[in-house]
Amino acid sequence: MLVAAAVCPCPPLLVPEVAAGAAPEMDAARAACTDALGVLAAARPDLLVVVGPAEQSGRGSFPQGTLGSFRGFGVDMAVRLGPTTGHSVSERELPPSLAVGAWLLERTGWADAPIEGLGVGEPLAPERCTEAGRVIGAKAGRVALLVMGDASACRTVKAPGYLDERAAPFDAEVARALGAADVAAVKALDAELAQELKASGRAPWQVLAGAAEGANLTGALLYEDAPYGVGYVVAAWS
């Protein structure tokens, strides 16, 4: 059963070495992510699953110890999804979202439970996302989720998706739903609208909603802003 979740944004800019001179602009988001991961540790889970958007249309799993890097963003820096276990790990690299999650876990010194990674294709239908979440929630007696994903990328004219007047209301509802641990509202997020607004977090958030069914968790919104015209939300469920 799901006992805790942390929702964090997944831009590589969260990593100071990638952000370089712009690093201070993300300090508040990094601090909020640290607080959210503290909620996960306090829950003492038997298993931590890191979920984030990936390019493929379905789902892809990554065992503990899988490597990721930020070389694609101009920084020769590697991360690992938890310590190696002595078993073979995936030859595939972590997708960028899970690499950022692995960086957050390394940064906070996570050593509290075994880790798995799940990359979720951004077009994955809501019902398939929630079903994946139900499977995750049944994997162990006490499951925690680190859910990586961004809200819209259309908040300003300089945003990656330019300005879309639908973006701010969409992001406000995302922040409200995640901050309140409103499972029904997260399930109800419009997949087509999310895709039009380039919101990479929709599918991972709906995986969380599936895992949280029947868990009766409360939420807290720790951060919500759009420093680069992209909506970033940090929330904790416990």
For the domain that residue 212 is a member of, what is the CATH number?
3.40.830.10
Domain hosting residue 231, numbered range: 2-237
Average pLDDT over residues 217-225: 98
Q: What is the mean pLDDT of the chain?
A: 94
Q: What is the 3-state secondary structure (H, E, C) of the chain?
A: CEEEEEEECCCHHHCHHHHHHHHHHHHHHHHHHHHHHHHHHHCCCCEEEEEEEECCCCEEEECCCCEEECHHHCCCCEEECCCCCCCCCCCCCCCHHHHHHHHHHHHCCCCCCCEEEEEEECCCCHHHHHHHHHHHHCCCCCEEEEEECCCCCCCCCCCCCCCCCCHHHHHHHHHHHHHHCCHHHHHCCCHHHHHHCCCCCHHHHHHHHHHCCCCCCCEEEEEEECCCCCCEEEEEEC
The structural domain count of the chain equals: 1
Tens digit of each residue's pLDDT (9 = 90 or more) over 48-100: 999 999 987 667 899 999 999 999 999 999 999 988 766 556 678 999 999 99
